[in-house]
Amino acid sequence: MITAKIGLQLYTLREECSNDLLGTLRRVAELGYEGVEFAGYFGIPSNELRSVLQELGLTAIGSHVGLPALWDRLPQEIQYLTDIAGSYLICPGVPPQEHDSESWRRNIPKLRDTARLVTQAGLRFAYHNHAYEFEIQLDGAPIFERLFPHESLHPELLSELDTCWAAYAGYDPLATLKRMVGHVPLLHLKDYRITSLGALETVPLGDGNCPLDAIIETASDAGVRWLIVEQDDAREASPLACVERSMQWLVANRYKT
């Protein structure tokens, strides 16, 4: 039985949100999404945003907050997310200049400390992966396994598993979910194709080669609470048309009524 709710990462609609965040939220609600994950608030006061979310029946799942803001503005980020009744503060990854192993040696303890502070404030903290966490090594193991070690998962540092990037990096997202039961409350649900040049191209759900049914079933067994649709780039149609097509696939396959 699929128990997770369906959300949307608003980075998919970043231009639309930049132009009209509140209007974009109305359209997302009309399409049937139950919650949203923010990638910026675009100057909207928290009380106004919370009011609109309540009016639309949308849950503020959480927000992606980059390293500079995590290090320098954590209390403000916690307060805003609390004000809009959000639950998860998520690090969306690290900038390219922080990809080397020594930067990771410094940042992993800082991420764990941040997770502790966020948890103490009544929220939850998660890390969202790309491919590089599986490709970069630190002391003989991939960064992802340093963040989420096999032998002992950190109780406060959760994973927002991006199954698309994990698969692209050569990792089995199903096996990863199975070993991290209860530690992946959020999952980025994507579909993708590999281009003739070997690059990853994200597409609406059902248009690519990702084993979506198996991922959704395994995610449910692993305790994932939110399946969050994301499409990094929309090339064949407008981003709004793409997220509508993804919702149509979810409805057609009985993952959303």
Domain count, the chain: 1
Report the C-alpha gap between 89 and 115 in whole angstroms: 9
Task: Read off the pLDDT of residues 229-257 as tens digits, 9 standing for 90 and up.
Answer: 999 998 878 999 999 999 999 999 999 87
Share of the chain above pLDDT 70, in %: 100
Q: Provide the CATH number for the domain around residue 209.
A: 3.20.20.150
Q: Which pLDDT score, from 0 to 100, does residue 256 have?
A: 86
pLDDT of residue 192 exceeding 80: yes
| Residue 216 is assigned to a structural domain of this protein | yes
Residue 40 lies in domain: 5-252
Residue with tokens 């009309």: 30
In a domain, 221, yes or no: yes
**Averaged pLDDT, 167-186:** 95
Task: Calculate the CA dihedral of residues 175, 180, 186, 188 and round it to 10 degrees.
Answer: -20
In this predicted structure, the answer to whether residue 88 has a pLDDT above a threshold of 80 is yes
Range 210-221 average pLDDT: 95
Whether residue 220 is contained in a domain is answered as yes
25 domain-assigned: yes
In a domain, 257, yes or no: no
What average pLDDT does this structure show over 17-22? 98
Reply yes or no on whether the pLDDT at 215 is more than 80: yes
Range in 24-28, 125-129, 166-170, 244-248 the model is least confident about: 166-170
Q: Where do runs of H (alpha helix) occur along the chain?
A: 14-30, 46-56, 67-72, 74-83, 101-120, 132-135, 143-147, 163-168, 173-179, 212-221, 239-252
Kindly tell me if the per-residue pLDDT of 1 is higher than 80. Answer: no
179-204 average pLDDT score: 93
Looking at residue 175, its amino acid is: A
Whole-number pLDDT of residue 3:
83
Q: Does residue 2 have a pLDDT over 80? A: no
- Tens of pLDDT along 89-104? 999 999 999 999 999 9
Residues in contact with 249: Cβ distance below 8 Å, sequence separation at least 6, in sequence order: 204, 205, 206
Q: Answer yes or no: is 19 within a domain.
A: yes
Q: Is residue 72 part of a domain?
A: yes
CA pair distance 28, 9, nearest whole angstrom = 10
Predicted pLDDT at 106 = 96
* pLDDT category of residue 202 using cuts at 50, 70 and 90: very high
pLDDT at residue 199 above 90? Answer: no
Q: Is the pTM of this model over 0.75?
A: yes
